[in-house]
Structure 1
Amino acid sequence: MTMPNVRVLLATHNGASWLNEQLRSIVQQQGVRVFVVASDDSSTDGTPQLLAQWEKQKSLSMMPTAGTRFGNAHRNFLRLIRDAELSDAEYFALSDQDDIWLPGKLARGIECLRSHAAHGYSSNVTAFWPDGTQLLIDKAQPQRRFDHLFGSPGPGCTFVLPRGVFEDLRAFVTQNFERIQSIWVHDWLIYAFVRCRGGRWHIDDRPCMLYRQHGRNEIGVNAGWKAALNRLNHVRSGAYRRDILAIADSVGESAEVVEAVRRLRLRDRLHLTLGVRQFRRRLWDGLVLALFFLVMPRA
């Protein structure tokens, strides 16, 4: 049988310390034909030179320099989704610059998409730290009716999408490119896009990737008191509510829960708090979200 053709969209910024290890784990994927398209966000640490070396090996193509900084991975991935050459790829995956993919990651994702007739795939990951500590990040709880409006199903670097879904996503990003620049993370936006259009999403309980944690992660593992404090500050600043509304508005979700978040009167806060089991896959996350609804500012 012909191996599936997968195009991996790689966003980089000053990732030279880890990039070779990441790229080796991508090009050595088993059971697929893989090609990488990279977009670099004005790196100054030798990342463009490393990408150029891989380009000479015919394993990768670099997109032209944008001229101005994107400033975060979200905008860089939006650029990749909108502008990357699709070629004859049957599936599309997203990649950060600093992880390690296990050899069967992409083949596993494609297998799950096919066997579950799914329109999107993500998976658990194994986080690891420089001291050798490892931690399973479990995102594979049963999905809820509105969980796509309140967060991602896992890191975007685990996502795999069939070509038809990706082409629809590409058209959506192109049409709304300026409007969605300010949203916090691309993975949450992609998940909401697929789910709001009636797509089936599969969250795999098998971790197929080592998720590197270091001092320069833009978004890392949400664990520990510092991460909890950062999340609380994000909510109290109003940024989390703005993201919920921006994503819902951009993907065309008009459910009453969205209007309740928009109004956020006392009655709405109570209604949202009582409904958290529809919004989060895990009980603990639902309880935390209930607290967020109580402290979330209206402005």
Structure 2
Amino acid sequence: MVRILLCSYNGERYLPAQLDSILSQRTEEDYELLISDDCSGDGTREILRNYRERRPDRVRLLLRESPSGGAWRHFLSLFTEGYAAGADYIMLSDQDDVWEPEKLSESLDAMRKMERSCGAALPLLVHCDSRLVDGELREIAPSFTAYQKMSPERDKLAQLLVQNHVVGASVMINRALSDRIRTMPERIVMHDQWIALIAAAFGRLLYLPKPLYLYRQHGANVLGAEKGSLFSELFGRLGIGRKDGRSKREMDEHSRAVYAALFEQAESFLRIYGEELRPEQRRLLEDFLRIKEQGRLGKIINILGHGFTYNLLHRTIGELIFI
């Protein structure tokens, strides 16, 4: 009924804790864990083989012979190559987190309520909060969402084109949504934003404010490294006080790369799903892509008029200046 897709790569240090947490879920539901390893060079594959031998009833392995090309391609390939097919529900998992015992059951309960309300034929996505912890699982913040100043209620297509509030490791999707992920895009920002865009365009998203897993922050994992705050973001944009040492010039280059990736992602989305979109959705994508060619005043009018904005005022002001 539920297939959990875990992508691994050189994860020997933290992987056992995550596997143990998944295999210890408090549920009577039928579920399996499909682990795809992306040519790890450490002890990851030996760990995975040991777990498969111990739990052949739950664990399936896909040991890739050639690299997938990165995290988002690795995850999406499990859909486009058919490894997600046939399951009623799909959950995504990172290799270095730790699930709370009720993550599967509470996500599934929420999904079933949505399907009863909306119908199982509608593409649906459920995602949740997490607790931010360090490499040794010591708590940094009780809510990753609050720590990053995310706004999960901003789940409209126009908003998600610019800013993602869905964390891949928190996600459960139904078969109707899984079946829509059938073509590998040329370039996207990340797989979680891509899946969120599909859900926003064709179905619905639901956020559970309860932290159902531990998001492990460690040296090899930069996402979520800095707390989202007005002053840290403003000064960081100017290259002041940044932990990564980036200068203003480097931040300007980074901003241009981020916006370029957003436009390329939108182009891929329009290319793959354009014929299935409603006319107003197609126009929305086309207007978003016009931002690239517009002057500053035209960009501002377009962004504010369509709601291609960020969740906080200073972030939107930065967008209007730098995009």
CA distance in 1, matches of 2:265, 2:140: 32
Deviation (angstroms), 1:14: 0.7
**Structure 1: where are the runs of 5+ without partners?**
none
Hey, what does 1:19 align to over in structure 2? 15
Hey, what does 1:263 align to over in structure 2? 293
Q: Is 1:42 aligned with 2:46?
A: no
**Structure 2: where are the runs of 5+ without partners?**
271-281
- The answer to whether the 8 Å contact 2:152/2:165 transfers is no
Larger radius of gyration: 2
- The answer to whether the 8 Å contact 1:10/1:36 transfers is yes
Hey, what does 2:317 align to over in structure 1? 290
- TM-score, structure 2 as length reference: 0.77
Could you say if the C-alpha distance between residues 84 and 39 of structure 1 is closer, same or farther in structure 2, counting changes exceeding 3 Å?
farther
Count of residues paired in the alignment = 280
CA distance in 2, matches of 1:235, 1:208: 36
CA distance in 2, matches of 1:234, 1:94: 31
Q: Deviations over 1:50-83 (max 9, x none)?
A: 111112221311114232x234211111222222
Hey, what does 2:144 align to over in structure 1? 137
Match of 1:214 among 215, 218, 221: 218
Q: Is 1:191 aligned with 2:196?
A: yes
Aligned-pair Cα RMSD in Å: 2.7
Match of 1:164 among 170, 176, 190: 176
- The answer to whether the 8 Å contact 1:241/1:261 transfers is no
- The answer to whether the 8 Å contact 1:29/1:105 transfers is yes
Q: Deviations over 1:154-199 (max 9, x none)?
A: 3101110011210122x2x2xxx2x43x3231101110112122x1
- The answer to whether the 8 Å contact 2:7/2:74 transfers is yes
Could you say if the C-alpha distance between residues 82 and 235 of structure 1 is closer, same or farther in structure 2, counting changes exceeding 3 Å?
farther
- The answer to whether the 8 Å contact 2:124/2:205 transfers is yes
Hey, what does 2:81 align to over in structure 1? 83
Deviation (angstroms), 1:272: 4.8
CA distance in 2, matches of 1:126, 1:140: 16
CA distance in 2, matches of 1:267, 1:251: 26
Q: Is 1:204 aligned with 2:208?
A: yes
CA distance in 2, matches of 1:12, 1:218: 17
Hey, what does 1:8 align to over in structure 2? 4
When structure 1 is superposed on structure 2, of 227-236 and 54-63 the one drifting more is 227-236
Q: In percent, how many aligned pairs have the same letter?
A: 23
When structure 1 is superposed on structure 2, of 222-231 and 146-155 the one drifting more is 222-231
Q: Aligned ranges for residues 53-202 of structure 1 at < 5 Å?
A: 53-56=50-53, 57-58=55-56, 59-67=58-66, 69-86=67-84, 88-116=86-114, 117=118, 119-130=124-135, 132-135=138-141, 136-138=143-145, 139=150, 141-143=152-154, 145=156, 146-169=158-181, 171=182, 173=183, 177=184, 179-180=185-186, 182-197=187-202, 199-202=203-206
CA distance in 2, matches of 1:163, 1:141: 22
When structure 1 is superposed on structure 2, of 271-280 and 188-197 the one drifting more is 271-280
CA distance in 2, matches of 1:235, 1:192: 26
CA distance in 1, matches of 2:179, 2:298: 37
CA distance in 2, matches of 1:41, 1:102: 26
Hey, what does 1:251 align to over in structure 2? 269
CA distance in 2, matches of 1:141, 1:194: 13
